[in-house]
Amino acid sequence: MRRTLGAKRDLVKQWRLPERVFFACGACHILAAAFLREYPDAGFSPIWIRPAAGHTGNHVVAVRGVLAFDYHGYSDWPRLVAHYQRRALQWSPGWSATLVPLAPDALISEAKSRTYDGLHLREPGQYLYDAMPRAQAYLRRFPPPAGAGTGDRP
């Protein structure tokens, strides 16, 4: 998914996006933070898909082994990365990225996110309204991960 230029800076326009687009394009890190808060013992960690210099397409995903969680819900991590790269290459020839592990607290702290070269994440309260309750509500659309005391779920 792609937004128009400047849409991320327009807080009203960004807030009015449908949930899936909101958490795909600009608030993926808030969704990852909500997921990690809800399931702290499920073994997931945040990973930043960091585009090479000169390219756009940052994305943050919660990952455990080959299982990933983002706005799609649960996905096979290697397959998600391949899909993301295919889509990015359609918009930006030569696109490549590095997978960067993040500290969970960097997801909701602008200052802590800036300790990573090239990363600048907006805090939940820096959206038009607090984005964390919106992320928590979106998260409820999906079952808990296996290992979160739920039996055989994904």
Show the low-confidence residues of the chain (pLDDT under 70). 1-8, 149-154
Alpha-carbon distance of 11 to 151, in angstroms, equals 40
Alpha-carbon distance of 87 to 79, in angstroms, equals 12
Alpha-carbon distance of 12 to 32, in angstroms, equals 22
pLDDT at 149: 55
pLDDT at 151: 39
Alpha-carbon distance of 104 to 102, in angstroms, equals 6
pLDDT at 1: 42
pLDDT at 25: 87
115 three-state secondary structure: coil
